[in-house]
Structure 1
Amino acid sequence: MTDDWRAARVDQIRQLIVAAVPEVVEEAKWRKASNPDGVPTFSHNGLICTVETYKDKVKVTFAKGASLPDPTGVFNASLDAGTRRAIDIKADDELDADAFSDLIRAASS
């Protein structure tokens, strides 16, 4: 994991996930030479989401996001995917913590 704004954003996301679903299980999956720490995954009653860092963003991908209610339009990526939906968060973006937590709770049900 990087040690810049992305690490702080991942920490914020992790805190929101744990607060929304205290029973959540976090695991690192898909370790490889180019990403030795792996990809953080969060599960409860199945996979909720993954969190990945890219050069210009942090991407939170909801495994079954297409079936989740998103009345405030938090999802902004993978909108045409059949099953998943994602949130791309750039350095200066604000994350609607309440709407994000609602998505996490819905995905964990």
Structure 2
Amino acid sequence: MADWRAQTVDTVRGLILRAEPDATEDVKWRKASNPDGVPTFSADGLICTVETYKDKVKVTFAKGASLDDPTGIFNASLDAGTRRAVDIHEGDEIDEDAFVALVREAVATNRG
């Protein structure tokens, strides 16, 4: 995957690490249809997963329903009981400050 999605994943990775330099990245759920697997980011618990699809990159926050989202960055899985997601499509601009704030809040929630 060497297209806009790879670039978006790299941008998201950079924002997560800017928000929490001690976050760890693991790759899980490798399979034939997704040999690269799914990057997961943790700091005292799961922060989020970053999945690539044909038409989007989906960043799913494990405890997203518990997070304050004053800028409305969450745009997917809004009815889920625990998680919330940000779907990023080709050409979308990421509100970097809002995303970093969301990651920091997710880490603070993990640290309780």
Equivalence map 1:57-72=2 (5 Å) = 57-72=56-71
Which residues of structure 1 form unaligned runs of 5+?
A: none
- Which SS does the other structure have where 2:97 is aligned? helix
Could you tell me how far 1:37 is from its partner in structure 2? 1.4
Matched, 1:77 2:76: yes
Q: Which residue of 1 aligns with 2:18?
A: 19
1:38-75 CA distance string (max 9 Å, x none): 10000001000000111111000000000000000000
Counterpart amino acid of residue 7 in structure 2: A
- Structure 1 stretches of at least 4 aligned residues deviating more than 6 Å after TM superposition: none
Could you tell me how far 1:36 is from its partner in structure 2? 1.4
Q: Which residue of 1 aligns with 2:106?
A: 107
Distance of 2:37 and 2:89 partners within structure 1: 21
Counterpart amino acid of residue 50 in structure 1: T
Counterpart amino acid of residue 21 in structure 1: E
Q: Which residue of 1 aligns with 2:28?
A: 29
Distance of 1:51 and 1:8 partners within structure 2: 12
Alignment RMSD (CA, Å): 0.5
Distance of 1:53 and 1:31 partners within structure 2: 13
Tell me the TM-score normalised to structure 1 length.
0.97
Could you tell me how far 1:98 is from its partner in structure 2? 0.3
- Which SS does the other structure have where 1:36 is aligned? coil
**Aligned positions, number:** 108
Q: Which residue of 2 aligns with 1:91?
A: 90
- Which SS does the other structure have where 2:14 is aligned? helix
Counterpart amino acid of residue 47 in structure 2: I
Which residues of structure 2 form unaligned runs of 5+?
A: none
